[in-house]
Amino acid sequence: MTKPIVLASGSIHRRELLKNAGVDVTVDPSSLDERALEAPLTGSGLAPEEIAAVLAEAKAADVSKRHRGALVIGADQTLSLGDTMFHKPADMEAARRTLLALAGRTHQLTSAVVIVEDGSVTWRHVGVARITLRPLVPGEIGRYLARAGDAILTSVGAYQIEKQGIQLMERIEGDFFTIIGLPILPLVAELRARGAIDG
């Protein structure tokens, strides 16, 4: 009998990626405060890859308490520009400031995914992508935000690459699914190897 699979994330994008890949999951988001978890990690010397992994593990371990015997998938994404970490913008003004800071520069998106079983991490993967935004003037940013609407407030970089955000890009290095927030190729490979999904 295969173990149930639980996604410890409320992200619509992650849920859709798994659904489209044919992975049957129960969605049960963690109730942990991500910013409170991240606060002591920022400035601790940990790399963005390590921070993303720690947050993914914490969320999956939290949900694992409610799902004994299940494979609980946790994921987290960080965006960094040099030593500066960015978060999902709270409002359109914060989104505008984020895009002004990223314009014409290369930033790093790090997406970590883990599997936790009964409180123990049994698998982890971290994917890294680098994105260069083209130089942008304030008027272009304002027009983009007006077109994109509040949906971009759910994205750490204030853009959605799968939508109009692609127009802001100059160069992309890395896996598309890492940019979306779930490195799905290694995840489904691991689930197949465990016999948790058909393949």
- What are the catalytic residues? 76
**Beta-bridge partners for 81:** 84
The backbone torsions φ and ψ at residue 101, rounded to the nearest 5 degrees and listed phi first, read -70, -35
Distance CA(146)–CA(143), nearest Å, equals 5
Residues whose CB falls within 8 Å of the CB of residue 181, separated by 6 or more in sequence, listed in order: 11, 13, 14, 75, 77, 111
Q: Which whole-number Å values give the CA distances from 104 to 45, 93, 100, in the listed order?
A: 26, 19, 9
Helical (H) or strand (E) element with 7: strand 5-7
Give me the helices (H) in 114-183, please. Answer: 138-148, 176-180
